[in-house]
Amino acid sequence: MILVVLILIIIGGIGYYTNKNGGIKSTTPQKQVRFTDTKTCTSMETPGYNYVFSGPSYNLNGETKIDLDNDGQEEIVRVYKQESSSGERSKPIIVKIFSATEDCPKEVFSHYGQPTEYPNEFVENPQVFQNFWGDGSNVVSVEAISTAYGSGSSMQLLLFTYRGGNYSVIEGPQVQGHNWQCCMFYGDNGIGQKIIAAENRWADDYSDYCAGCDSRFQFFIYTWNSKEYIKTEAGVTEKKYSGDIEEIVQKEPSVVNPR
């Protein structure tokens, strides 16, 4: 027995010692191995869809990270868009939120656009906002766009957040036309308190209608009431424009006054 112990000590060097009962214990620091329960992990792939690679807040993996629930841990927000075949309409976009553990992401929320005649199939300008409504809520905004192939398009601003103990999506301004304008964040205590949007304004008989041309704009104010946005009609521009919404407001500031 003594010979066996001596041999093991020689082989193991200072990494081993004997206890009082004659057994052998290791003194070499052991690497902590964490086993991931892969059954609880969620795939971040969505068959038939690609990540949206747009927006200053998104990285090359088509995702952004933000602490939506203010628990000190960031979540991963990914926007997915289907690549359709020629002549085939794309399916609506998908937005998913995952707990931000890189080795084992877990899906905590998902939003599937409605499969309407003109679904929200395109995405523009994903953005991240801190303290969006002035109450500490963080938000990821997405402009979900539908096209009507020559008859203009429509846009629904979707706001992904965490409120009342749940992840949720809140619908912001919805505009349509050939050259709609959105969005200008206009709130004082939290920029999301008021959102400005505008649509083309034509004569009642459409005598001045012109697809793709400059036009007058009807402005709308969307005011947050802690639960949803309330739409109020504002002013109409005196001149015709095709530029950015903030540029139009600078030239005719009275258009943001509610009627």
Token digits for 14?
A: 């200072």
What distance in Å separates the CA atoms of residue 237 and residue 140, rounded to the nearest whole number?
31
Reduced to 3 states, what is the DSSP secondary structure of residue 255?
helix
What is the pLDDT confidence band of residue 90, given thresholds at 50, 70 and 90? low
What distance in Å separates the CA atoms of residue 179 and residue 27, rounded to the nearest whole number?
73
38 φ/ψ angles, rounded to the nearest 5 degrees: -65, -15
pLDDT at 207: 80
What is the pLDDT confidence band of residue 233, given thresholds at 50, 70 and 90? very high
- Per-residue pLDDT averaged across 70-81, rounded? 88
pLDDT at 58: 52
What distance in Å separates the CA atoms of residue 188 and residue 11, rounded to the nearest whole number?
73
The answer, yes or no, to whether residue 39 has pLDDT greater than 70, is no
Letter for the amino acid at 76?
I
Q: How crowded is the C-beta side of 183, counted as CA atoms within 13 Å?
A: 28
The answer, yes or no, to whether residue 151 has pLDDT greater than 70, is no
Kindly report the number of other CB atoms within 10 A of residue 121's CB atom. Answer: 18
- Per-residue pLDDT averaged across 105-111, rounded? 91
pLDDT at 37: 44
Q: How many residues does the chain have?
A: 259
Adjacent-strand bridge partners of 122: 145
Which segment of 53-67, 142-156, 172-186 scores lowest on mean pLDDT? 53-67
pTM of the model: 0.76
Mean predicted lDDT score pLDDT of the chain: 76
Kindly report the number of other CB atoms within 10 A of residue 225's CB atom. Answer: 8
- Per-residue pLDDT averaged across 203-209, rounded? 81
Kindly report the number of other CB atoms within 10 A of residue 167's CB atom. Answer: 17
What is the pLDDT confidence band of residue 30, given thresholds at 50, 70 and 90? very low
What distance in Å separates the CA atoms of residue 185 and residue 213, rounded to the nearest whole number?
26
Look at residues 115, 183, 172 and name the one whose alpha carbon lies nearest to residue 146: 115
Look at residues 121, 78, 76, 126 and name the one whose alpha carbon lies nearest to residue 102: 76
pLDDT single digits (tens) 40-68: 788 888 887 777 654 455 554 567 889 99
The answer, yes or no, to whether residue 177 has pLDDT greater than 50, is yes
The answer, yes or no, to whether residue 194 has pLDDT greater than 80, is yes
What distance in Å separates the CA atoms of residue 239 and residue 233, rounded to the nearest whole number?
18
Selected residue with higher pLDDT from 179 and 170: 170
The answer, yes or no, to whether residue 137 has pLDDT greater than 80, is yes
Selected residue with higher pLDDT from 78 and 150: 78
